Amino acid sequence: DSGVTQTPKHLITATGQRVTLRCSPRSGDLSVYWYQQSLDQGLQFLIQYYNGEERAKGNILERFSAQQFPDLHSELNLSSLELGDSALYFCASSVESGAANTGELFFGEGSRLTVL
Amino acid sequence: QKEVEQDPGPLSVPEGAIVSLNCTYSNSAFQYFMWYRQYSRKGPELLMYTYSSGNKEDGRFTAQVDKSSKYISLFIRDSQPSDSATYLCAMRARAGNQFYFGTGTSLTVIP
pLDDT tens by residue, A22-58: 999 999 899 999 999 987 678 899 999 999 999 989 9
pLDDT tens sequence across B79-99 = 999 999 999 999 988 776 788
**Half-sphere exposure (Cβ direction) of A32: Cα atoms closer than 13 Å:** 32
B-chain residues near A56 (CB < 8 A) = 96-98
What is the rounded distance in angstroms from the CA atom of residue A84 to the CA atom of residue A27?
33
- Which is nearest to B52 in space by CA: B36, B63, B67? B67
| Cross-chain Cβ contact B42/A109 below 8 Å | yes
Contact check, Cβ <8 Å, B44/A97: no
Q: What mean pLDDT is reported for chain A?
A: 91
Would the CB atoms of B101 and A50 count as touching at under 8 Å? no
Of chain A, the percentage scoring pLDDT greater than 90 comes to 75
Per-residue CA distances from B93 to A36, B3, B32 (Å): 21, 12, 6
Question: B101, exposed or middle or buried, with CB in 10 Å at 0-12, 13-18, 19+?
Answer: buried
Q: Write b or e for each residue in B39-52: b if 16 or more Cβ atoms lie within 10 A of its Cβ, otherwise e.
A: eeebbbebbbbbee
- Assess whether pLDDT exceeds 60 at residue A100: no
Can you list the residues of chain B whose pLDDT is less than 70? Answer: 1, 96
CB distance A58–B98 less than 8 Å?
yes
Nearby residues of B55 by Cβ (< 8 Å), 6 or more positions away: B62, B63, B64, B65
Q: How many CB pairs under 8 A join A and B?
A: 69
